[in-house]
């Protein structure tokens, strides 16, 4: 569980800040991802210090999804040739994935017996 916590903390640390084009919407998504990854990462490390075992899979799935969303945000913000249709499709995917993140946060919190 400690490794899963450290993985979440690493993802939180490496989520990009800003970008070549200022986008408050993207910044809001990134800040939410950083916050939940940081909080659950610390909670997982505390959990591991007090109890052996636990299921790290929900935390690792969350880390993977957060990384995926961050990568899509990079694509939206750094296109060489702006394409509104493509950006709309990417934002649709980002919003869908963020919906999954909400469920993953619940599953990870339940695995750690914490509320986020």
Q: How confident is the model at residue 92 (pLDDT cuts 50, 70, 90)?
A: very high
Q: Which tokens belong to 79?
A: 């296109």
Smallest CA-to-CA distance from 10 within 75, 63, 47, 68 is with 63
Tell me if 93 sits within 8 A of 73, measured CB to CB: no
Cα(4)–Cα(24) distance, integer angstroms: 30
Instruction: Provide the 8-state DSSP code for 113.
Output: T
For 11-45, the pLDDT digits (tens) are: 999 998 766 567 889 999 999 999 999 999 999 99
Calculate the alpha carbon distances from 115 to 50, 99, 105 in Å.
17, 18, 9
Q: pLDDT tens, 43-52?
A: 999 999 988 7
Q: Which residue has the higher pLDDT, 19 or 103?
A: 103
């Amino acid at each position: 569980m400690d490794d899963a916590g450290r993985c979440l903390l690493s993802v939180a640390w490496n989520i990009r800040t800003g970008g070549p084009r200022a986008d408050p919407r993207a910044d809001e998504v990134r800040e939410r991802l950083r916050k939940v990854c940081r909080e659950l990462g610390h909670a997982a490390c505390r959990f591991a210090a007090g109890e052996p075992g636990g299921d790290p899979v929900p935390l690792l799935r969350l880390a993977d999804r957060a990384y995926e969303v961050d990568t899509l945000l990079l694509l939206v913000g750094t296109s060489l040739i702006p394409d509104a249709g493509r950006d709309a499709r990417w934002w649709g995917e980002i919003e869908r994935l963020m919906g999954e993140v909400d469920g993953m946060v619940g599953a990870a919190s339940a695995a750690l017996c914490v509320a986020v």
